[in-house]
Each structure stands twice: as C-alpha cells, then as structure tokens.
Chains A and B, each alone.
Chain A
Amino acid sequence: DAGITQSPRHKVTETGTPVTLRCHQTENHRYMYWYRQDPGHGLRLIHYSYGVKDTDKGEVSDGYSVSRSKTEDFLLTLESATSSQTSVYFCAISESSVSGANVLTFGAGSRLTVL
C-alpha cells in the first residue's frame, strides 16, 4: 500500500496496559501523522511529525505520545490504555507539494480494542 505499513493490524488489550502502534514508510516523506476514526466521526488528528524528532500535537492528543527517531518510523504510544481509546488508528504520510496541497496517503489501519 504505497509504501506505508502499520503494525499490529489488530490488538485487544486491557485497561491500564501500555500499547505501541508502529507506522513504517518507505517513501522518505517528511510528514507523518496519526489519526483515529470512530463511528460518526471523521478522522481526528492525534499527533503529527514534520521531521526526525520534530512532532506536534493534534486535536485529540491527550493520553497519547509519539516518537520519531528515524524518517521511516513513527510510533504512537498509549501509556495506559483506556476504553475511550478503542478505535481504528490510521497512520498517514505526505510530502507537501508546491501546488499547495497536503495529499495524504494512509496506511491500512490498526484496530485497537481496550477491554
């Protein structure tokens, strides 16, 4: 899928446990993102990165942290998972174009269930 893979694709965990989702790209794109998608909602941005070690918060960042130590990898960590974090998580990449659009390419998604 356009050089972007997410792992794991499915995970069931218990409240209070730590969880890390991984996003790996082979496109050498500068920007990487983590979104969550819930029924009745579109995609909501959790965190994004604009380069190695450069990250910023999105609109729903509480309870999540990220790290980007290499261009190709962007990790999303839930330090202590809660049931409200049950969701489908999408990683995306982009290379902002001179035409002025930030076209996103998405990974296949990671479905997380917190019991």
Chain B
Amino acid sequence: EDKVVQSPLSLVVHEGDTVTLNCSYEVTNFRSLLWYKQEKKAPTFLFMLTSSGIEKKSGRLSSILDKKELFSILNITATQTGDSAVYLCAVDYFTNAGKSTFGDGTTLTVKP
C-alpha cells in the first residue's frame, strides 16, 4: 500500500524562526512530489520536485527531494504570521496517471 508520511503533525514557532517540514514516501511508480499550502480554504500549489538534489526556491520557501532515501523537506526561513497554514505533500505516479496520494499534512502556527 502506498504511504506518504509527514512530520511533525503540528508545529508552533515565533516570527523569524526557521522551520523544516518533512515528507517521506513509500510508493510504487513514483513520478513527482508536490507541496501544497492550505490556509482556511483550498490547497494551493507551491512546488513540484521530480529530480533528486535540485533545490526549488520561492522567496523564503525552498524544497529538496532525495529519491534515494525517499523523502523531501520544505524549509521556510524568517517565518511570518502569514505562513501559518497546513502544508501538504503529495506524490503522483507514472502509472495511474492523474492520481495523487497525499500525506496528512503539517499544521504550522507562527506566533507574532
């Protein structure tokens, strides 16, 4: 059975802190890993990672994939209260095109 596991499940930090969110996976026919951010509504796309070792960056957020050890991390530096959200990772597949499997998410709370 395919598994996507995120840790920690929740995290409380103060503004300015740096956080690292983890996503490990055990799936067959892995194609890509994706990160989404969910504030009080629908998830929105952050990053897509297909190759190992290539860091994706967007402002204070960055992410990297390790296809040998089967995990990804999402780093957020200089956190702001607006970073408070649930962060979801998902994997998709070469076969079963169109399907994605999500982890349970990490709830990040950034306090002023």
Residues on A lying within 8 angstroms of B by beta carbon are 1, 30-31, 33, 35, 40-45, 48, 50, 58-59, 90, 94, 96, 99-109
Contact = CB atoms under 8 A, between A and B. Distances in A.
A113 B101 CA distance: 25
Best-surrounded residue of B31, B44, B50, B102 (most CB of chain A within 10 A) = B102
Contact of A96 (B4, B97, B102, B104): B97
Contacts, number: 71
Interface residues of B, number: 25
Taking chain A's interface residues, is the majority helix, strand, or loop, or is none over half, making it mixed? loop
8 interchain residue pairs of minimum CB distance: A42-B102, A106-B42, A102-B92, A101-B32, A101-B48, A31-B98, A43-B102, A42-B104
A5 B43 CA distance: 14
Contact of A40 (B4, B42, B104): B104
Given A100-B31, A109-B41, A94 B48 contact: no
